[in-house]
Structure 1
């Protein structure tokens, strides 16, 4: 008989507030930790299971996995419910966990309908990361359906209510006892109680199917025994990407050996493809760009419109221009002409001809030559 509101456990340490859920394998209560004044969740095996011939093995597994989860809670994971306590009240074993506020994925879909891909995929990835930690600890959740995924108001998802040892009690339970997970459990779990990580891969992929379509997927039993096909989620919700559609179908492959064999492998299928970086620039091409920019900048300094076409003056021409300027400087100095004006005019003429760099050099040389010629003339 389930405990009632107000019932005290452990000498008044915990007080039952209400039943949160009851299934074929256990009962979950909302309770108050009196000493710390915090809300907790207490999970117990269903009382009638005590008559099952496998009950002792079930309790042994319940305690063993409860202790393992408590060890995981010593280094808390943000997406795994924390285990606080494990005790026995009379003949009933109890596992105490943190209370996670919010709504579960079942409730969210019932309220809003099919969830956008951008909203549900990050939550599923968070739960997948949590399951990787669980698998590394040697456990399999076996019950990662929408009712056991809590969605906080901040958009974070938390995995709760581990399906501890439920495969050890098949004799007492009717088919109705596992109907709560129908559509989310793989065939090998329902038929022989598999404890492989591929069970969680199927469950989480089926949960994602439900999240993006708003519909429960075809059960694995119907697919296996009746050869019923699974409707691809994209046929129900055409707005989802092809990548997501394929990831869900791959994760829900009926035969476990053809599914991704680890949660990491399946999560990689949900990741967006990374952009391919552009090929590296050839060093010669970069050098030419640098030279061109230097020429354009120099033209800008001289006040001439930038152009990508440059004229090259042969060295012979430059020597001829230099000697011509030397002669011109001497003549101008002798006649007291405004030699600086003529020199600069010549330099600008060369600049407009496209040889600005050499014109500047010649102008400087001419200025020196004119000074020398002027000195000679005055002497």
Structure 2
């Protein structure tokens, strides 16, 4: 791979492996995503990537490889804005495909949020609001270009050194209205029902912006309540059998987990709407989802325990508020009277002293 040198892997998911890379002169850093669907691929001699045995595995591998390249080339033309990783291009080598992206210095949301929860007991709402606003604007650009991300989860959201959330890993992205052909390649805990193969009769649907809204809502549910709802396929199975949807509203899950944080009804209602099992019951666009949040953000600022997801040496930093002004002990009414009398006596003494120092006969 001319032009840069691969370093150690940054992480591996169901769709591929991401490596840290640097330019040959060492001045620039990148992230390189290798198309490596674990279910359908294997590593051959010399690092070559090969499909697993069987016609179905070979077909799935080839469909995914072509889609990976096509989406990477189009995603590189997305507008540059906060919350969106810059894709620089894609190429084929070693029997597979690679996507070259800017390297985001920071940590994934799951690691940062765990550290904040350990320190403060919860994620302050101001930070949750900022996360929604930034990521929904990024998703709006993705959807506007005709794509669905399809794999939003905490490990695919990086918190940069400045505290900005950035959506990464477009290996599962697909064009709006197009089936993936790889139904099993999804992150089950965060995937919407329409991403699963063979949903119960009458419960399927097309993927669209609402698909990413579902995944983002599950991420928010987890941040706020420190727990996950049942996966969409399990919820659908219960509903199709005539039983109640096992989804637990986010408020109830907070009570169960004894979460200290206090969140607005607007935010909690929005999370529950976004987690709706049926696509038509969710907000239909990223703009619809972020609008009530940004209306809250426009209101006068309220005090927060944290200054945000700011990073300090790779750690989420907490900047404490300034201490209140020092105050003396409170006095009783009788004590205040004594202090007042002493003040009058002291004032008269000073005045007398000054009068005696003045020249007699006027100025």
Give 3-state SS (helix, strand or coil) of 1:260's partner. coil
Distance in structure 2 (CA, Å) of the matches to 1:213 and 1:142: 23
Distance in structure 2 (CA, Å) of the matches to 1:95 and 1:35: 20
Contact 1:55 1:169 (8 Å CA) reproduced: no
> Structure 1 stretches (4+) deviating beyond 4 angstroms?
none
Residues 1:63 and 2:69 aligned together: yes
Residues 1:25 and 2:15 aligned together: yes
Match of 2:235 among 220, 223, 226: 223
Deviations 1:276-328 (A, max 9, x none): xxxxxxxxxxxxxxxxxxxxxxxxxxxxxxxxxxxxxxxxxxxxxxxxxxxxx
Equivalent residue number for residue 39 of structure 1: 29
Contact 2:276 2:282 (8 Å CA) reproduced: yes
Contact 1:148 1:161 (8 Å CA) reproduced: yes
Match of 2:275 among 224, 236, 252: 252
Deviations 1:314-347 (A, max 9, x none): xxxxxxxxxxxxxxxxxxxxxxxxxxxxxxxxxx
Match of 1:168 among 154, 174, 180: 180
Contact 1:31 1:39 (8 Å CA) reproduced: yes
Q: How far apart are residue 169 of structure 1 and its match?
A: 5.1
Number of residue pairs matched? 257
- The unaligned stretches of length 5 or more in structure 1 are 1-8, 276-379
TM-score for the superposition, normalised by structure 1: 0.63
Question: Whose RCO is larger (CA < 8 A, sep 6+)?
Answer: 2
Q: How far apart are residue 250 of structure 1 and its match?
A: 0.5
Structure 1 residues 31, 169: CA separation in 2 closer, same or farther (over 3 Å shift)?
farther
Q: How far apart are residue 202 of structure 1 and its match?
A: 0.5
Equivalent residue number for residue 262 of structure 1: 285
Q: How far apart are residue 68 of structure 1 and its match?
A: 0.7
Residues 1:232 and 2:249 aligned together: yes
Match of 1:96 among 96, 100, 123: 100
Contact 2:29 2:103 (8 Å CA) reproduced: yes
Structure 1 window deviating more from structure 2 (24-33 vs 230-239): it is 230-239
Deviations 1:216-259 (A, max 9, x none): 22211221113452222223046111111100001111000111
Distance in structure 1 (CA, Å) of the matches to 2:143 and 2:51: 29
Give 3-state SS (helix, strand or coil) of 2:90's partner. strand
Equivalent residue number for residue 54 of structure 1: 60
Equivalent residue number for residue 366 of structure 1: none
Pairwise CA RMSD of aligned residues?
Answer: 2.3
Distance in structure 2 (CA, Å) of the matches to 1:14 and 1:144: 28
More strand by share: 2
Q: How far apart are residue 144 of structure 1 and its match?
A: 1.5
Equivalent residue number for residue 302 of structure 1: none
Contact 2:148 2:173 (8 Å CA) reproduced: no
Larger radius of gyration: 1
Distance in structure 1 (CA, Å) of the matches to 2:14 and 2:85: 21
Q: How far apart are residue 36 of structure 1 and its match?
A: 5.8
Contact 2:68 2:171 (8 Å CA) reproduced: no
Distance in structure 2 (CA, Å) of the matches to 1:214 and 1:14: 40
- Listed as ranges, the matches of 1:1-379 within 5 Å are 9-10=1-2, 13-35=3-25, 37-46=27-36, 47-48=41-42, 50-51=51-52, 52=57, 53-72=59-78, 75-113=79-117, 114-164=122-172, 168=180, 170=182, 178=186, 181-191=187-197, 194-227=206-239, 228-235=245-252, 236=254, 237=259, 239-272=262-295
Distance in structure 1 (CA, Å) of the matches to 2:223 and 2:109: 7
